[in-house]
Homo-oligomer: A and B are copies of this chain.
Amino acid sequence: MAVGFDARRFLRDRRDNRRHAPEDLRAFVHALVHGGIETYQVTAWLMAAYLNPLDDEETFVLTDAMMRSGTVIEFAPGELPGPTVDKHSTGGVGDKISLPLAHLVAACGACVPMISGRGLGHTGGTLDKLESIPGFDPRLPVAAFKAQTKRLGLAFGAQTKELAPADGTLYALRDVTATVETIPLIVASILSKKYASGTAAVVFDVKTGRGAFMRELAQSKALAERLIAVSRRMDRQAVALVTDMDQPLGRAVGNALEVVESIEVLQGGGPPDVRELTLALAAEMLVLAGLERDVAAARSRATRALDGGDALGKFRAVVEAQGGDPRVVDDPTRLPRAPRTVPMKAARPGFVTKIDAYAVGEAIVALGGGRRRAEDTVDPAVGIVFERKVGDRVAEGDLLGVLHSGPADPLDVAKALAGAIEIGDRETAAVPLVRDRFD
């Protein structure tokens, strides 16, 4: 690599759809991080890779090189009290599943070294949700992250420049060159970061629908398949569920409001879809970690841990360990609260036929609860709590939901939200929560 990376030849190969040699891909990632290729050459390659996509083998080599471009957290055999397993969601609206799920799975004996990120655009991020808990620091340094994973079976860390720095560089350039939406580069981005966190197994929650990064079911399935194929090539255990993101997940959307809902789930309650997806993913994770032989047994174990209070106990312990105020569990008013609430009412009788997750996510951003750009700050208190979901019958004037807003007039947002909720004459069944499964 020191003798020089021939960027033009590398570009010609991608341009003409010739398979990259492994050493060329490794030299490319090295040049990306240490110099040896110009930014304007990287972006030309990205466009070529968008139009002539990498195959699985190329994606594997790229992912592996990106993962190794920075710190790779490793746990020695026997260092942890249980097998490692993690979950990755491709992002959605109201997707707080990591919060109940990580604690539930850790309560069942697995170890979850969870690196999470901030929200961007219409989708939220686990890091923001955790930060809405007063005092909570979800950005443990590597040594503390490893130590807590060992002690509690669960730690939350943040994506930093130390982990897979090549991905940070590539992603920023993809964002400004219209080369984000291509499966091989998405796979490399997700897996390089995920497998740098030290987990041996991952369950992928690939969202599909209006609020998802991939709106079309076929595309979401294709992404799920490639995540599994490349994970396998990396000697990692992986399963993927393709799940609905046409309407928001659960009732709450907004950082602190989602923490409240997560606590409800950890208490054995919460909205049915959030509880269901938590249990479905937990069961997959326990099987993947080798703690249960089949999904049915794993689900029983997870259900017991959820309803018996073990998962909630793990939550208390982790919140306390990372500096947060554990009293929020019994007193959610200790979480940030918005100064105003605005009821949203049904303008006509009928059935809720659609709640547009994308429009809801954009409304949250408009309220200040999400980010347009990575450097924006978020208001943890604002959000929406829905009282009705798709399929529910409503009378005129019924409460559809409550907007939690800052001091500024949220009329525009309320109007946008009203447009996101459709009421029709005929009952429409919500699509199934889990659309497909890949292993």
> How far is A52 from B177 in the complex, measured between Cα atoms in Å?
16
Whether the Cβ atoms of B11 and A44 lie closer than 8 Å is no
Interface residues of A toward B: which range?
Answer: 20 to 34
Q: Does A179 contact B (CB under 8 A)?
A: yes
Determine the chain B residues whose CB is within 8 A of the CB of A43 once the complex forms. 40-41, 43-44, 47
Determine the chain B residues whose CB is within 8 A of the CB of A48 once the complex forms. 47, 51
Known: A47-B48, A48-B51. A178 touches B12 (CB 8 A): yes
A45-68, CB under 8 A of B: which get 1 and which 0? 111101110000000000000000
Q: Does A352 contact B (CB under 8 A)?
A: no
| Most chain B CB inside 10 Å of its own CB: which residue of A7, A12, A40 | A40
Determine the chain B residues whose CB is within 8 A of the CB of A179 once the complex forms. 15, 44
16 contacts between A and B (CB under 8 A): A7-B176, A8-B176, A8-B177, A11-B177, A12-B178, A15-B47, A39-B40, A40-B42, A40-B173, A43-B44, A44-B46, A44-B178, A45-B47, A47-B48, A51-B51, A51-B52
Smallest beta-carbon distance A420→chain B, Å: 24
Q: Does A38 contact B (CB under 8 A)?
A: yes
Whether the Cβ atoms of B177 and A41 lie closer than 8 Å is yes
Smallest beta-carbon distance A327→chain B, Å: 46
A3-40, CB under 8 A of B: which get 1 and which 0? 00001100110010000000000000000000000111
Determine the chain B residues whose CB is within 8 A of the CB of A178 once the complex forms. 8, 11-12, 15, 44
- Would you call the interface of chain A mostly helix, strand, loop, or mixed? helix
A135-168, CB under 8 A of B: which get 1 and which 0? 0000000000000000000000000000000000
- Residue of chain B at shortest CB distance from A8: B178
- Residue of chain B at shortest CB distance from A46: B44
Smallest beta-carbon distance A43→chain B, Å: 4
Determine the chain B residues whose CB is within 8 A of the CB of A51 once the complex forms. 15, 47-48, 51-52
Whether the Cβ atoms of A176 and B40 lie closer than 8 Å is yes
Determine the chain B residues whose CB is within 8 A of the CB of A41 once the complex forms. 43, 176-177
Whether the Cβ atoms of B177 and A40 lie closer than 8 Å is yes
Whether the Cβ atoms of A15 and B50 lie closer than 8 Å is yes
- Residue of chain B at shortest CB distance from A175: B8
Determine the chain B residues whose CB is within 8 A of the CB of A38 once the complex forms. 176
- Residue of chain B at shortest CB distance from A178: B11
Smallest beta-carbon distance A345→chain B, Å: 38
Smallest beta-carbon distance A46→chain B, Å: 6
Smallest beta-carbon distance A240→chain B, Å: 27
> How far is A52 from B52 in the complex, measured between Cα atoms in Å?
11
Determine the chain B residues whose CB is within 8 A of the CB of A7 once the complex forms. 176
4 A-B pairs with the lowest CB-CB distances in the bound complex, closest first: A44-B177, A11-B178, A47-B47, A40-B43
